[in-house]
Structure 1
């Protein structure tokens, strides 16, 4: 970011940086690191949740875990693998639908029985046009005039 200066004799660019949030490096005590890594290996929570709790990035915690595994391998040890409970399924139960009475016949008024799909079909000089119900007179007239117009 370039900032104008009051001093005319100053040449070059001055830089101004603003750091927000946690910008400092933290030194973790070895006991604290070991505690955080051990907590990340408990299958109670994900690594990301544990990292977030301590205000660190998950990638940092994954790095610590990798370093810890390497130290164990150098000593000829391995991490015990926590056994997961076997996957089980809930049994599906299908119940027969209860017998219900057929719906009573509803008498519909004459207006409701009329088809909503009624249309006017026009064919002029081999061109067929369907005009739907509810079209206004002006629209129908315009369509008929367009079909009759010489081409």
Structure 2
């Protein structure tokens, strides 16, 4: 057997290999929100934080499912402010007439001519918020 008889080692250097990193749920949410902030930012965000695109997609799924905290339940949908439409009241049409309304998301409403306009507006606004 060989015996080392050279100079004793006086300094030992530890080299980190870049093992597994841990991200907190808050950090994951912040990264996911950043990835939704514009068109085609998923890959760029993944590169910025040195994670894979599939890992970012897993975090996005977890955020949508609410597993990363309460902030994820909002779905990161940007708010859009639109001017309020004021309705003008007109005299009710003759009996037997019907009105068909198609909302911007494709929902159809058919009512008779004597419908309460205020109630109808509330219904239409509620249906437009549905996906």
Greater length-normalized contact order (CA 8 Å, ≥ 6 residues apart): 2
Is the radius of gyration larger for structure 1 or structure 2? 1
User: What is the TM-score of this pair, normalised by structure 1?
Assistant: 0.34
User: What is the TM-score of this pair, normalised by structure 2?
Assistant: 0.38
